[in-house]
Structure 1
Amino acid sequence: MDELIAKLAEVGRRAVELGLVVASGGNLSARLPGAREFVVTAAGTWLDRLRPEDFVRMTLDGETVSGAARPSSEWKLHQRTYRVREDVNAIVHVHPQHAVLVDALGHPIRLFTLDHATYVRSVGRTAFHPNGSDELADAAAEQAREHNCVLLAHHGCSTLGADVDMAFRRALNLEEAAVATYRALTLGDTTTAFPAEAWGSVHEVG
């Protein structure tokens, strides 16, 4: 668990550095494969300043086991996704500007490159729900049944993985795809995307 916390702290630092989240926005979590407990960032933490004491250990039933006094207000977003996806061991929730903007403008995020197709593969979406609400957590978990990248309207995204590195890789590729989509839209292009005939050669990853 200490190793997972160290990995999450590094992801938090990189996420802020790359502009995927600002100030005390976003939250991160991870669990050991098959575990009934997970660690999640605490309330009010800045992702580029995470220390071991900035995490809360929780059960999949929502009970606090140890760590900081209060978990992130979005702890349910993580808990309920873990409950429907036994293969997921890390969740990155950030607020990528282009992904949120393209979605808010009513356009789907298009996948253009082999990396987009491999790591993002498909994008789920929820309507807007208040931060930390049961409605948001349940809607995101429902989308997570079929997608490893879930857009939360006017809010951010959650990206999932079998480990911390994969969850973060998906966040990076989702935002890169959103930037490419935005640029295509500014050029008046609304159709270009990864070729349909090439999907058969794309291998799904964890």
Structure 2
Amino acid sequence: MPTYHDSPVVRLNYPTAQFMTSAPTLAKCPEDTGAEVAFAGRSNAGKSSAINALTQQKALARTSRTPGRTQLINFFSVMNNEACRLVDLPGYGYAQVPEAVKLEWQKHLSDYLHSRLSLRGLVLLMDARHPLTEFDQMMLGFADQRDMPVHILLTKADKLKKGPASAALQKVRSRLQEWEDLVSVQLFSSLKRDGVDSLAQRLDQWLHTPQ
């Protein structure tokens, strides 16, 4: 697990993010050097909206009225530096596609998470109203196998009142106590931009961590 120092971390300018490329498989991904952070979540968890909120761009990560349509691993460079990347992983578990296709997506996700050496951490998005689904547990298992840090965004927090939102946050933290050294959790709202700064601070730590 990476260790973080007390010295200040230089803030990265996420609005500079630019699309690099899309890859259908691990073999087609950009060169495995530098540092990257991947975003994963069920197709209706608000993953693309969170990336767009972070980068202050309306359509950097494409949103769709048909969740789960994207089947590619999408790479974005930050600050015109292709060695510093954000990665949008395919959504999973909601799309109306054949089971064989879903299994193929799962295989590509597993290959990427297990083999990508430049991957510094995983941002796992969960709907605050329905956290810790079977998919979420699977992703946490992948990360645990690699001893990789995970930052959970409980998205769509604006759809809950303050009390229920806080209760959802505490419930997830309580259920993940065994992973407390690897997992951190926060509430997040793309619509109101609540939690964007906390997310950026976490990404700053990961993307500045030496390999």
TM-score under structure 1 length normalisation: 0.27
Report the structure, 1 or 2, having the larger strand content.
2
Highest RCO, 1 vs 2 (Cα 8 Å, sep ≥ 6): 2
Report the structure, 1 or 2, having the larger helix content.
1
